Amino acid sequence: MENKMYPRRSRRLFFFSWSFLPVLVALAVLFISTAAVLSYGTNKRGEEEEEEEHAAVLRRFRHYLQINTAHPSPDYKSAVEFLLSQASEIGLDSRVLEFVEGKPLVLLTWKGKDPTISSILLNSHTDVVPAEREKWLHDPFAAVQDAEGNIFARGAQDMKCVSMQYLEAIRNLKSKSFQPLRTLHLSFVPDEEVGGIDGAGKFVSSPEFQKLNIGFSLDEGIISLGDTYRVFNGERSPWWLKIKATGAPGHGSKLYDGSALENLLKSLELINKFREEQFNLVKSGEKAEAEVTSINCVYLKAGTPTPMGFVMNLQPSEAEAGFDIRVAPQEDVKELQRILDEEWAPASRNLTYTFSLKENPLDKDGQLALTVGDDSNPWFVLLKEAVAKAGGKLDKVEIFPAVTDLRYVRHVGIPGFGFSPLANTPLLAHGHNEFLNAGEFLKGIGVYEEIIKAYTSFPPPADSETRAEL
C-alpha cells in the first residue's frame, strides 16, 4: 500500500513541480536580475564615487604643482596659502613660522590622544629647482596630465608629491575616524634646494621645534625604477666648492707658463682623475653610489666677453670653476682636505678656493648621523610592516646619495628615514620633463595611510629608559 502511495505522491509532486516550473524560473530570473542590477548600480556608484574622489585628489596635487616655487624667487606666499587651505579643509591645527623674512614654514598638527609621548614629524620642502621651459614637453608649472596619466611638473617627484600624499593620507584617515595616539606634525619648509639653512636648519634649532618633542621623523627618499621602495638611513655630506685661478694675461698665440686657464685646467685634470677612480668603484660593483665621494664640475667661468662674443686672441687673467662634492659618510675628511689644499687648489698654482656650503659627515658629538636601519630599531620594523600591509616592499637600506633636510633632524639626535612611496618611474628629479604617474601617486597615499597609522599608534615602551628614547 505504502509502496503504491509513494509513487502516487511522487507523481503528484512531479506534476506540481513541472506546472510551477515556468513561474519559479521567472521568479528566479527576476530575483537574479534585480540583484544584479542593484549590485551593478551599487558597484557603478562606488566606482563613480571613487573616480570622482581620485579626480579631486589629483586636482589638489596639480594645483600645488602649479604654484611656481622655483629658485631664485619661489612663490612661497601662494604655497603657504594653499597649504593652509588644505589644513582647514582637513581639520588640522596650523601655524606659520618665519625664521627668515620672506621664507615661511608651515607647521600642521594632528593632536594625538596622549600628548605626553614623543610625536612624529613628516617633513617636506616647498621649494623646487628651476626648470628650462624650452627644453620641456610641457610648461613645468602647468602640471599637464597626458593620456597615460603622467603628470609633468617641476616638483612632481621632488617633492610636492610627498607633501600632498601626506595630506591626502591624513584626509582619508580622518574620514575613517582614525584617531592617533601620538601627535603627528607636518612641516613644509622653504629653501631645501639651496641648503636648507634658512628653512629646516633654523627650524630644528628653534625653541618651537624643541617643544614639539619629536621622537621620529620621515622625509623625502628617491623614486625607484623597479617596484620596490627605496629607504635611506643616512646621507652623504655636501661640499660646494669654488676654485678661482689667476695668471698673467697674454696674447692668444703665445705659449707661456702659468696662465689662469692653464692653472685651472690642471685642477680639472686632477679632479677628473679622482672622479674616475671613485666612479670605477661604483661601476665595478665594489661600492654603492653613496659609498664613494662624488665630485662634479657644475660651472666654468672664463674669457673676456664683448657684445659680439668672447675675445679670441686674449688669454684671460682669471678663471673659475664650481664643483658639487658629496662626501661619503666613511670618507677620510682630513685626507680629502689635504688633497684639495695640495693638489686641486694649491696656492703655488695661483689658485684660491671658497665653499658656499661645507658639511662634514659627523654630528656634533663626533658620531656619524645614521639611523639604525635594521630590525633592532622599532621605527624601521614599523615602516617595513606598514609598507607590506599596503602591498609594497622596501628595498635594502641605503645612504642617500644627495642631501635632505633630515640631516638637521638626525644631527640633533632624532632618528629618521628618507622614504618616498614612489616606484616604477625613471628618476627625473632636477631633470627635464620630471613626471609622476597619477596611479603611482595615488598608490603612495595608501602607503602613507598605513605608515601614519602604525607610527602614531606605536605605544610607548613600558620601561622609562626606553620610553625616553622612543
Ligand X SMILES: CSCC[C@H](NC(C)=O)C(=O)O
Closest CB to ligand X among 92 and 164? 164
Given 127, 168, 193, 434, the residue binding ligand X (CB under 6 A):
193
How far is residue 325 from each of residues 129, 269, 360, 362, measured CA to CA in Å? 18, 16, 11, 16
Site size for ligand X (CB under 6 A): 11
Q: Is 361 in the site for ligand X (CB under 6 A)?
A: no
Binding characters for Zn ion, 146-185, by CB under 5 A (x = yes): ------------xx--------------------------
Q: Is 130 in the site for ligand X (CB under 6 A)?
A: no
Task: Give strand ranges (E) for 34-101.
Answer: 93-100
Identify the active-site residue in 158, 168, 191, 192. 192
337: enclosing H helix or E strand: helix 333-339
Looking at residues 213 to 242 of the shown chain, list those that interact with Zn ion (rule: CB under 5 A).
220
Q: How far apart are CA 451 and CA 184, in angstroms?
A: 12
CB count in 10 Å sphere of residue 445: 23
Contact 435, 428 (CB under 8 A): yes
Those residues whose C-beta lies under 8 Å from the C-beta of residue 112, and which sit 6 or more positions away, are 119, 180, 181, 182, 183, 184, 456
Q: How far apart are CA 451 and CA 445, in angstroms?
A: 10
48: enclosing H helix or E strand: helix 2-66
Q: Is 127 in the site for ligand X (CB under 6 A)?
A: no
Q: Is 322 in the site for ligand X (CB under 6 A)?
A: no
C-alpha cell at 439: 596611479
Q: How far is the CB of 434 from Zn ion (least distance, A)?
A: 10
Identify the active-site residue in 127, 220, 235, 331. 127
Contact 124, 185 (CB under 8 A): no
Contact 278, 326 (CB under 8 A): no
Instruction: Identify whether 127 is a catalytic site residue.
Output: yes
Q: Is 199 in the site for ligand X (CB under 6 A)?
A: no
110: enclosing H helix or E strand: strand 103-110
Q: Is 404 in the site for ligand X (CB under 6 A)?
A: yes
Q: How far is the CB of 158 from Zn ion (least distance, A)?
A: 4
Q: Is 192 in the site for ligand X (CB under 6 A)?
A: yes
Instruction: Identify whether 192 is a catalytic site residue.
Output: yes
Binding characters for ligand X, 145-164, by CB under 6 A (x = yes): -------------x------
Closest CB to ligand X among 214 and 403? 403
Q: How far is the CB of 219 from Zn ion (least distance, A)?
A: 8
Q: Is 196 in the site for ligand X (CB under 6 A)?
A: yes
Length reported for the chain: 470
Binding site for ligand X (CB under 6 A): 158, 192-193, 195-196, 238, 357, 402-404, 429
Which residues are part of the catalytic machinery?
A: 127, 192
